[in-house]
Structure 1
Amino acid sequence: MRSTTLLVSLISTAWLAAAVPAAGKSSGLRLIKTSPSDPGKWVSDEDKISKYVAKNIGFVDITDITDPEVLKILSTPDSDKSIAARAITYPTSVSHTAVANPLIAQVSTTNPQSWLTTLTNFYNRYYKSTYGTQAATWLYSTVQSVASANPAITVSQFTHSAFNQPSIIAKIPGNTTNIIIVSAHFDSTGGSSTARGPGADDNGSGTVVILEALRVLANAKFKGKDSIEFHFYAGEEGGLLGSAAVFANYKAAGKSVYAVMNQDMAGYSPSGKISIYTDYVDSSLTAYARVIATAYTGATTSDACGYGCSDHASARSNGFPAAYVCDEKMATSTPYIHTPQDAYSTIQWPTVLRHSKYTVAFIVEASFL
């Protein structure tokens, strides 16, 4: 999902969250925010998709979020830099090309083409549909198969209480407890809960990019200084549901996340450049993401995508440094997202290849922070 100030007080937002059990869950409605100043509005699951996602209006579903710190960040304008992620100093240049380049040479589009064919053949991957659950089952099995090249890699499902589609996490353990995360959501929508939604670019493309990076690193038995996780999120189109639950869990567990690099749409780029978005992200990590992209793929572009744009927002609101990398600027991005026309035939495979190579480079560089 991508979208095209008055600060709500923490007390007001916390009150809204507290009112959920009586006003929301009993009636089947969900509480969403469309901006930092939006106090929240109650909508149905269907309305979330047909009235917001289909119209490219970004939002965050805050129904199940009760952490006051997270609610505060979600209610703070992006221009207010008083709320920052963990203070981490990132390099200003790359230093592991001798390791990264041989791995990048192993990247191809052969497997991504096969994987994306399967993903887009599901009628849709809507997170509350049987198709969405079936897609998750297939993806979990595929991640396990890809990861099996390295017995050290663990693959798990992260279950969600409000819907059956699980998120999926693969982990390459490192020598520290610090974690580097690359992520993408795999659910899709065609504009309603029942519409055909192949979701080729949004976000089958990001899913196969992360999978291809996992394949290359698993085959090479790669191990960084820090642990590396590959996240495949459920329920993004429903308001960042899967990632919100994952990062709330990580925050509660006190996990040390050094970087989250999210990719949502990685298969359609008339410019031929990786686009690095600059709003609702950690500015230092974003600068580092650009350093890596420039060194390994060439020139980049920049843009802003708005509130609740994608899963990096969940990492940020839970206090973890996050960046968002996409295939194109908003104005020239694919016109097909959130419709039945977001089909396999619209994918530009040099774009997928570029993002896959970038992902491998990012993992190698960042996992030695």
Structure 2
Amino acid sequence: MRVIVAHNRYREAQPSGENTIVDQEIGQLEAAGVEVLPFLRSSDEIARFSGTDKALLPLSPIYAPRAQQELSRLITEHRPDVLHLHNPYPLLSPWVVRTAHKHRVPVVQTVHNYRQVCSSGLYFRDGRICQDCRGRALGVPAIVHRCYRGSRAQSALMATTLAVHRPTWRSVDRYIALTSGIANHLRDYGIPDDRIVVKPNAIPDPGPPPPLGDGFLFFGRLSPEKGVGLLLDAWRRHPDGALGPLRIAGDGELRPLAEEAAAQRADVEFLGPLDRAGVAAALRSAAVVLTVPTWHDVLPTVVIEALAAGRPVLGTALGGIPYLIGADEPAVAAGSALSTGEAGWLVPADPAALAAALPTARAAAASLAPHARARYQRTFHPDVVTGQLLDIYAKM
């Protein structure tokens, strides 16, 4: 089988889990015997553009003529079975779908965000969930609020791009929804069920889990939508030391908040940004991983990393988290905001609810730990996920 993998890489200065997932998926496909033809561009290329190319850049999300020419040559030379698209912006354009179809090549797209509808791709604005552009022919609210790169002009171009390419997106042959939440987003957009397949990302197997450590671990970007402020508000509702240690790892605009908490309380430790070995060590030291975004986070990879390490997850009931921990239909105790899934617990994005759930999660961590590892092996192991992807390609 021969597959073109098309992806516009995000800037290296902007850490991207999506870039990492695409790289890993290419490696997994090649290991399975697939001939992968990478059709990759990087937003870092923009800095080297000529003056003319930079002037034309705002139009590239709509059409990107050079990308279409290069893709046509690649298809003509190699005759692929499938084109698998990830992020098309800004240098590829959704027009690659039309180019592939012109050559009778079917298109699969993995949906990593909400950018069929939302100019920022996040459904999040001004510190709150925002879906003001749903159902609109043109995303005027995105323009008014400068949702794309903080620019009204660029937001107008992106909103126009989304309007122009509504027929393009509806012509994609098969959508890969990373979670059931993304599948619902696609249905709401008008994609029929028979063109949607739920297939999550995979991460490499770290091996048998070590014994549980103690306390809680939060690791990820320290930004408002990731919920570190929500977490610290909930944590302060318990006496110092009552829950064991809270370790916070990562970097971002709210780093001073984490540093201040570590300075004020003996049970909070700020680890700073960690490399892969550092993350593995932090997971070994913890009993429960906290993933508490205040937006509909599509597929926080930290949850899969926690499950692979045999650590249950306490998360907010938003975005892809219910699916990840096996709680699309969670069991809810009477009179409680806390619900339980196969590999963790869910709460509303509310500090009181999170504070009430912390002792429960700590007490029950050992009982859910084996289920966390089992869910990883059954749902997120590379062998399982690659098999699903090959099956999707074979049915095109």
> What is the TM-score when the length of structure 1 is the normalising length?
0.31
> What is the TM-score when the length of structure 2 is the normalising length?
0.29
Higher relative contact order (CA 8 A, sep 6+): 1
Rg larger for: 2
